[in-house]
Amino acid sequence: MTASAETAVTPGRAHWLRTAREAADDLAIDAAAREQAGKAPFDELSRLREAGLLTLLAPAGAGGGGGDWVTACAVVRELAAADAAVGQLLGGHYFLSWSARFFAEPALAAQLERRSAAEEWCWGGGLGQREPSPRLVRTAGGRVLDGRQGYATGALVADRLVVRAVRADTGEPLAVVIDPARRGVRVDGDGDTFGQRLAGGGTVEFHAVPVGADDVLGSLAADEDVLPPATALAAPLGHLVSVHLLLGMAEGVLAEVREYRGSGSPREPHVLTAYGELTVLTRSASALTDQATAAVRDGLARGADLDHEECAEISVLVAMAGAAASRAAQESTARALDVIGARAASARLGFDRFWRNARTHTLYEPVAHRVREVGDYFLNGTHPPFALPA
């Protein structure tokens, strides 16, 4: 396909944002009821697939939407405002489906993208460091994967899982892609979290699962001397998805509270002050997130020309945005209930889901160490470590 033909068939940013808003409006209708039911998100995934959102990031030449990361993050944020768990499901899919571009050889990455777009795969899993990670063991019949991943986003509904494994002989961490339908893979919906219940998370056990050469994407070794900056950019990109997810939660609860109050909005000074403070907090986090998003976009565009110092600056900016978004999400989802008053305690209304979702996500993605990295960078010039999101 020629460049002009690819451009002609690639939907623009306006199309994807409109599609995301329509999907979010659809999800918002029964968000509380679906969250309380807590079923595996097969129906929610179908809605995303029908909207074409699963293939947004895949190249148009491979049958995808040809979208960029700025658009993908905006889509995640829009969906998270309506249903944070579905936003996490889609955000995890975007990052994990893109991971081959960071860690695999170009030919393998292109092959996976073509199949993923053609078959509209949903990707789940997680590459964050856990102890112990599943082990990749060499046997007489070839390599096999053994072990357990305690929590994998989207595992209950994913067509492919990307997990962190370690070579049994050397301890080298590797990114491995697995078909969950493969012999020896067992997925249990035992996440039992009090929030983000529709993110499809669960435990994955691997029992002598065969692993071919094309199933190993590449190394996750974190030595800065050997890790190219363009690959290290995977860490801030993954965390940036989390930032937009958190901002979506904050914006979603503030919008829903305002809509619920309607013409009956209170005039009490303390209520107006609370809502004003939360709005300032969320808008401030949004402005910082815009800077971080632009920095990641520019870093991706630089590719192999990106250097270690530039990558560190991007990582620190994303960490700052993450700290601001985490605070905005936690405070907004908790304090916004005060704007409604005692009626917010109604289980039928489901306002509690915003707080539970935000708190659950921040437990899995804590920002305390990110803030410490910001301080270490500005005081001592220390580059943040390569740490992929859970």
Q: Within the chain, which residue ranges are assigned CATH 1.10.540.10?
A: 3-122
Q: Report d(CA 150, CA 158) in Å as an integer.
A: 16
Is 229-380 assigned to CATH 1.20.140.10? yes
More confident residue, 270 or 322: 322
Q: What is the mean pLDDT of the chain?
A: 93
> What are the residue ranges of CATH 2.40.110.10 in the chain?
125-219
Cis peptide before 210 (omega within 30 of 0): no
What type of residue sits at position 118?
A: A
The top-scoring range by mean pLDDT among 11-15, 309-313, 369-373 is 309-313
8 CB-near residues (< 8 Å, 6+ apart): none
Reference 184, options 217, 154, 220, 215; nearest CA is: 215
Q: Which CATH superfamily is domain 3-122 in?
A: Acyl-CoA dehydrogenase/oxidase, N-terminal domain (1.10.540.10)
Residue 116 has pLDDT above 70, yes or no: yes
Contact yes or no for 106/218 (Cβ under 8 A): no
Compute the residue count for the chain.
390
pLDDT surpasses 70 at 191: no
Residue 267 has pLDDT above 80, yes or no: no
Domain limits, CATH 1.20.140.10, in the chain: 229-380
Q: How many Å apart are CA 199 and CA 179, to the nearest integer?
A: 19
Supply the CATH classification number for the domain 125-219: 2.40.110.10
Locate the DSSP E strands across 57-141.
123-126, 135-139
Convert the pLDDT of each residue in 311-368 to its tens digit.
999 999 999 999 999 999 999 999 998 888 888 888 888 899 999 999 999 998 888 9
